[in-house]
A and B are shown apart, each in its own frame.
Chain A
Amino acid sequence: MSEQDARRAIDAVWRIESARLIAALARMVGDVGIAEELAQDALVAALEQWPRSGVPDNPGAWLMATARNRAIDRLRRNEMAARKEEELGREVELRARLEERDLAAAADDEIEDDLLSLIFTACHPVLATEARVALTLRLVGSLTTGEIARAFLVKESTVAQRIVRAKRSLAEARVPIEVPGAAERERRLASVLEVIYAIFNEGYAASGGEDWIRADLCEEAMRLGRILAGLVPREPEVLGLVALMELQAARFPARTGPAGEAIPLPEQDRSRWDFVLIGRGLKGLDLAEALGRPLGPYALQAAIGACHARARSAEQTDWERIVALYDALDAVTGSPVVRLNRAVAVGMAFGPAAGLELLDGLAEEPALRSYHLLPAARGEFLERLGRVEEASAEFARAAALSGNARERELLQARSSGSAPT
């Protein structure tokens, strides 16, 4: 095997094994930072040995055994250096635990429990969202700090620092590396889902751009979501989030035109949608619904996405069902943005006048005061009602509020009446 081939093979093994490796080590040593260092030690050993010896038959077990031996060595040294009795006691106890546990033979459910604990810890609410995102991508997604930095358009040193601080915060807060109990579970799971969706949205915003690694964040988020769904298969919101991401990602191939311009949903060429992802999304949503519990915000948004995915053309969209789903979503989120979307759906289902009336009711909503999509939606309905001058004024207002250059251009064009409706 050439040096380069070996490196690529090791990289692939690492992608597959590292999260489980770090998870098992974290549970044993009680610290994600130390666990990651030990796993890295094992990786370095693999990079030294495998190019000569070839990749072992069971590379996961090899990495695990190596990391475990490093951990025991390290503890022996610590024991010798430990001054305080209490410290020494802890080290000895840890070492005994390490020596006792046969990692290669760990049962599947034990490994899964470790991995789930790692995910919950990396996404602990004690950390800010951006810290949770970086730590999750690093520990669970096995991305390098360089990859994370490129994906989020920040300096590598910034990401590295963010991760170091996050690990320190977890240690200082003495966050136990475990699957939270029933009382805390819902809140903690919401925190995990928020991280996964934040990763997806970062990629979604960039998926029209040139930088492939940013768009790849969507793939990474879906992978993390699928892993989580494998670990907790009976949570409707987990299934709902995965379905939501798949249904949205299914539209990527149709989202941008030849010059990189954004193509809005109604004008997309639906034959370019990714039907593998649509099939998976619809199936996942079915599973979530079959659990028979009330749907949460992710599953409801997935259900709305499913209405679009099932429609063979924009005109055939079941807008009445979408209105009902927005009602349900409004009830759980109480978000003015949801009510804005609901008003748009009402306009599509029952005509522009009905939509406009609801939009007028949102005019005083403080959260929407500088939100460009409100005047944009008003402009749309006014135009359909033939109130061209008022529509033009609304599009101009929307353009002034938009933060995105390309979007602003489109809105300005509509304001001057030069764009196709």
Chain B
Amino acid sequence: MRVMAIVKASKDSEAGEMPSEELLAAMGEFNEEMVKAGVMLAGEGLQPSSKGVRVSFGGDGERTVIDGPFAETKELIAGYWLMQVRSFEEAVEWIKRCPNPHEEEGEIEIRQIFEAEDFGEEFTPELREQEERIRAQAEQNQ
């Protein structure tokens, strides 16, 4: 299964401060270990939300672009790993071995990624057919 480990932002990461050399080295080592175990598929750090925007969708379908930075620092995302593991617990076990991503309190959230079979019963044959039809139409329109 694939999971995403999401590193939550901190005051420092939101301020755009680079981590210490020590932390960078520890993170590098951790990344290398995950790569060598064949677990890490991808991973990146995100720039602070002050360089980001949000596109908000109103109930009436209106789109508004809101410039960062955003409040609720702890709910923002500072980076992620995409991991291929054999069980969710394996991902938890790996992330427990991760150095503290910030030099203050921090949090890493682990979420499982949907795969086609996860849609299971909900994804009925009719729905599938509908998807196929839509796709066929989209191709014709190209």
The one of B89, B93, B117, B128 that contacts A258, using a Cβ cutoff of 8 Å: B128
User: Contact mask B98-137 → A, CB, 8 Å, 1/0?
Assistant: 0000000000000000001100000001001100100100
- Picked from A13, A222, A276, A279, the residue with its CB within 8 Å of the CB of B93 is A13
B94 near A9 with CB under 8 A, answer no
> Across the interface, do B90 and A15 meet the contact criterion of CB distance under 8 Å?
yes
On whether the beta carbons of B132 and A258 are closer than 8 Å, the reply is: yes
> B26 within 8 Å of A by Cβ?
no
Q: Are A226 and B87 in contact (CB under 8 A)?
A: no
Cα distance A219–B2 in the bound complex, in angstroms: 10
Chain B: residues with Cβ within 8 Å of the partner, total of 23
Given contact pairs A16-B37, A226-B35, A219 touches B89 in the complex (Cβ within 8 A): no
Whether B36 and A16, one on each chain, are in contact in the complex, defined by CB atoms closer than 8 angstroms, is: no
Which B-chain residue is minimally distant from A5 (CB atoms)?
A: B89
Q: Hey, which chain B residues are within 8 Å of A276, CB to CB? A: 41-42, 82
Task: Return the chain A residue nearest B39 by Cβ.
Answer: A223
**CB of B28 closer than 8 Å to a CB of A:** no
- Point out the residues of chain B lying under 8 angstroms from A216, CB to CB: 86
Are B93 and A230 in touch, CB under 8 angstroms?
Answer: no
Q: Does A405 contact B (CB under 8 A)?
A: no
- Nearest residue (CB) in B for A226 is B38
Asked whether, in the complex, the Cβ of B38 is within 8 Å of the Cβ of A11, the reply is: no
**A408 proximal to B (CB < 8 A):** no
The answer to whether residues A225 and B116 also contact, given A12-B87, A15-B86, A258-B125 and a CB cut-off of 8 A, is no
By beta carbon, the residue of chain A nearest B117 is A212
B117 — which chain A residues lie within 8 A by C-beta?
212
Residue A224 contacts which of B38, B90, B92 (CB distance < 8 angstroms)? B38
Q: Mark A12-49, 1 if CB is under 8 A from B, else 0.
A: 11011000000000000000000000000000000000
With A258-B128, A276-B82: A12-B93 Cβ-Cβ less than 8 Å: yes
Q: Nearest chain B CB to A287's CB is how many angstroms away?
A: 13
With A219-B84, A258-B125 as contacts: A8 and B89 at CB distance below 8 Å: yes
Known: A12-B92, A258-B125. A230 touches B82 (CB 8 A): no
Question: How far apart are B92's CB and chain A's nearest CB, in angstroms?
Answer: 7
Complex: how many Å from CA A11 to CA B37?
A: 16
Q: Distance (Å) between the CB of B108 and the closest chain A CB?
A: 16
Chain B facing A: main interface SS:
helix
Instruction: Tally chain A residues at the interface, Cβ within 8 Å.
Output: 27
Of A8, A224, A279, the most chain B CB neighbours within 10 A belong to A8
- Given the complex, which residues of B lie within 8 Å of A226, measured CB to CB? 35-36, 38
Asked if A9 and B41 make an inter-chain contact with CB atoms under 8 angstroms apart, the answer reads: no
Say yes or no for A65: interface residue by CB 8 A criterion.
no
CA distance A276 to B116 in the complex (A): 16
A225 touches B87 (CB 8 A): no
User: Which residues of A lie under 8 Å from residue B87 when comparing CB positions?
Assistant: 8, 11-12, 15
The residue that B89 contacts in the complex, of A11, A212, A230, with Cβ under 8 A, is A11
Contact A227–B90 (Cβ < 8 Å): no
Q: Which residues of B contact A9 (CB under 8 A)?
A: 89, 92-93
Chain A residue at minimal CB-CB distance from B136: A269
Bound-state Cα–Cα, A362 to B48, Å: 62
* B131 to A, closest residue via Cβ: A258
Least Cβ distance of B17 to chain A in Å? 29
CA distance A226 to B42 in the complex (A): 13
Is there an interface contact between B94 and A16, defined as CB atoms closer than 8 Å?
yes
Taking Cβ atoms with an 8 Å cutoff, the residues of B that contact A are 35-39, 41-42, 82, 84, 86-87, 89-90, 92-94, 116-117, 125, 128-129, 132, 135
Interface pairs A-B: 9 shortest CB-CB: A226-B38, A230-B36, A223-B38, A12-B89, A258-B128, A12-B93, A12-B90, A8-B89, A227-B38
15 examples of A-B residue contacts, CB within 8 angstroms: A12-B93, A13-B93, A16-B94, A112-B36, A212-B117, A219-B86, A223-B37, A223-B38, A223-B84, A225-B38, A226-B35, A230-B36, A230-B37, A258-B128, A279-B42
